[in-house]
């Protein structure tokens, strides 16, 4: 028996760095505007993870607070596989020509803020910069980007290597997804807000249009 999908419960599937938190915010702004005090903030690096000051008291009870930001953990996942529930699923699909940009976003938005010294020393090679200098070493950052795109980063010695971009896209349940949004469309489709509104079956929200434009303007730096 086919499950009835819930348009108010959207789960975004995406590899790290592929702007899934941004898309999740768009959906939540449509389905649960009461979670936000204002348009979600976007950092100078283009990071769209909600900050505590973005969220209402209700939003704070739903979002999971991490060290530097919050995430709507039940509404997005880095898993390439569907989960056995009635969530409406949206997969972000990227192409090989997108990998360099996604990897740049992952290193610039995530690793620079989250990678600690022990994790860095576990993955580094002899030709990498020392931990205290890696964030300003272009050679080291490029190696990290290349590895994330095609090899993977075995950051935690107690876990298997994280799925890298190419492998994630090969394993993803695209054929079972309710919707697929291409990575480039997040940055360039002029009708992205309309597409999101159709998925959640709600009228177009001008605030989401403003948020999309704000996010795109800040993230234009990655499209060289």
Question: For residue 44, is it within any domain?
Answer: yes
70 and 171 share one domain: yes
Q: What is the pLDDT of residue 160?
A: 47
Residue 160 inside a domain? The answer is no
**In the structure encoding, which two tokens stand for residue 129, read together?**
């910069």
pTM of the model: 0.89
47 three-state secondary structure? coil
Q: 10 in a domain, yes or no?
A: yes
Does residue 161 belong to any structural domain of this protein? no
Shared domain check, 110 and 92: no
Residue 145 has what pLDDT? 87
61 and 84 inside one domain: yes
In this structure, are 137 and 210 located in the same domain? Answer: no
pLDDT (tens digit, 0 to 9) for every residue of the chain, 224 residues total?
Answer: 455 677 778 999 999 889 999 999 999 999 999 999 988 889 999 999 888 889 999 999 988 787 677 788 889 999 999 988 889 999 999 999 999 999 899 889 888 888 889 888 888 888 899 999 999 999 999 988 888 877 666 555 545 455 578 889 999 999 999 999 999 999 999 999 999 999 999 999 999 999 999 999 999 999 87
β 64-65/70-71 pair status: antiparallel
Query: Do 87 and 108 reside in the same domain of the chain?
Result: no
Query: Which of 125, 150, 175 represents a domain boundary (last residue)?
Result: 150
Locate the DSSP E strands across the chain.
6-13, 64-65, 70-71, 76-77, 87-93, 179-182
Q: How far is CA 5 from the centre of its chain?
A: 22
In this prediction, residue 55 carries a pLDDT of: 92
Question: What are the structure tokens assigned to 209, written together?
Answer: 């249009």
Q: Which domain holds residue 102?
A: 98-150
Count the helices and strands in the chain (H runs, E runs).
10, 6
How many domains is the chain partitioned into structurally? 2
Structure tokens at 164: 């890298």
Per-residue pLDDT, 151? 64
Please check whether residues 28 and 92 belong to one and the same domain.
Answer: yes
Do both 13 and 92 map to the same domain? yes
Residue 117 covered by a domain: yes
């Amino acid at each position: 028996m086919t499950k009835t999908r819930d348009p108010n419960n959207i789960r975004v599937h995406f590899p790290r760095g592929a702007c899934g938190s941004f898309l999740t915010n768009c959906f939540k702004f449509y389905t649960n505007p009461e979670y936000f005090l204002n348009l979600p903030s976007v950092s100078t690096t283009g990071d769209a993870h909600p900050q505590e000051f973005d969220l209402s008291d209700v939003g704070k009870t739903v979002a999971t607070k991490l060290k530097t930001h919050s995430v709507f953990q039940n509404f997005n996942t880095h898993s390439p596989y569907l989960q056995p529930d009635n969530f409406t699923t949206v997969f972000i699909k990227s192409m090989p020509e997108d990998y360099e940009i996604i990897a740049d976003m992952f290193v610039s938005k995530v690793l620079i803020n989250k990678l600690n010294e022990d994790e860095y020393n576990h993955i580094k090679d002899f030709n990498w910069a020392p931990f205290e200098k890696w964030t300003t070493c272009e050679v080291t950052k490029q190696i990290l980007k290349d590895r994330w795109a095609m090899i993977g980063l075995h950051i935690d010695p107690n876990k298997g290597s994280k799925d890298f971009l190419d492998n994630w896209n090969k394993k993803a349940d695209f054929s079972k997804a309710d919707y697929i949004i291409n990575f480039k469309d997040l940055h360039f489709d002029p009708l992205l807000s309309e597409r999101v509104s159709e998925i959640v079956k709600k009228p177009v929200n001008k605030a989401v249009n403003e948020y999309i434009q704000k996010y795109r303007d800040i993230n234009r730096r990655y499209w060289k």
